Amino acid sequence: MIALITGATAGFGKATAELFAKNGWDIIICGRRKERLASMAAELSKKYNVKISELSFDVTQLDEVKNAIASITGSWKNIDLLVNNAGLAVGLSPIQTGEIDDWERMINTNIKGLLYMTRLVAPIMIENKKGHIVNIGSVAGKEVYPNGNIYCATKHAVDALNRAMRIDLVQHGIKVTSIAPGLAETEFALVRFKGDADRAKTVYNGIDPLKGEDIAEAIYWAATRPAHVNILDIVLTPAAQGNSTTVIRK
């Protein structure tokens, strides 16, 4: 079995690559940080005796995505699972003062990057007559929270696209699943707050947040149901999170 995972250099993607490798899957790991991809490939292939292929590209650059997917040849084209995971939040500001550059980055990565990947990988799956696409949404795609405006909008778009692509692809036997996590401790908050580690830590103060491994398990479970079962949407939060704005901190 072969999984292609975007955003595999950190957080959910990294944990997912590890869990699938542990279960004997070969994996195409993607991300911009080449050194991380190289060390992960060496580590996972040795530890789990599976094949790991590295593709370093930026999901927001259509030419890079096209070249990366075109470079997948031979048995690697037999992709069983695409995990559309690469994504980010940048900034947390009211709509009237938000940085427009931050908005562009979120829209380009979370929506356009996911679309480019899907547009280029789905035809391969259709040709193979099999496949499964897992889109990483968020609780921010189910509700909105103060200052979350553009990030929430991008994840609402992922939620809509998840449902839309399912009805387009069902006739080809391709499953489509959304995984929508709440607060999870990864590099996400550090990216959102542009490297401010102290501010990033406050996001998880006094709670036991989700970990990358929790999301990896949800993805793995959805990807390994019997052929006749499709999981549409998994929403998971830390036990301390009631919704985006109700978080019980000790």
List the one residue out of 70, 73, 75, 69 whose CA is nearest residue 117.
69
Q: Which is nearer to ligand NDP, 50 or 219 (CB)?
A: 219
Q: What is the rounded distance in angstroms from the CA atom of residue 114 to the CA atom of residue 47?
A: 30
Q: Rule CB under 6 A: which of 52-71 touch ligand NDP?
A: 58-60
Following DSSP, what letter does each residue of 112-159 receive, concatenated?
IIHHHHHHHHHHHHHHHT-EEEEEE--GGGTS--TT-HHHHHHHHHHH
Rounded to a whole number of angstroms, the minimum distance from the CB of residue 192 to ligand 8X3 is: 7
151 is catalytic: yes
- Which residue in the list 48, 145, 151, 220 is annotated as catalytic? 151
Q: Which is nearer to ligand 8X3, 54 or 102 (CB)?
A: 102
The answer to whether 138 contacts ligand NDP (rule: CB under 6 A) is yes
Q: What is the rounded distance in angstroms from the CA atom of residue 73 to the CA atom of residue 38?
A: 19
What, of ligand 8X3, ligand NDP, none, does residue 149 touch, CB below 5 to 8 Å by kind?
Answer: none
Give the three-state DSSP class for 106. Answer: helix
Rounded to a whole number of angstroms, the minimum distance from the CB of residue 155 to ligand 8X3 is: 6
Q: What is the rounded distance in angstroms from the CA atom of residue 246 to the CA atom of residue 250?
A: 13
| Contacts of residue 97, Cβ cutoff 8 Å, sequence gap at least 6 | none
Among 2, 44, 109, 218, binds ligand NDP (CB under 6 A): 109
- Interacting residues with ligand NDP (CB under 6 A): 6-13, 31-33, 58-60, 85-88, 109, 113, 136, 138, 181, 183-184, 186-188, 191
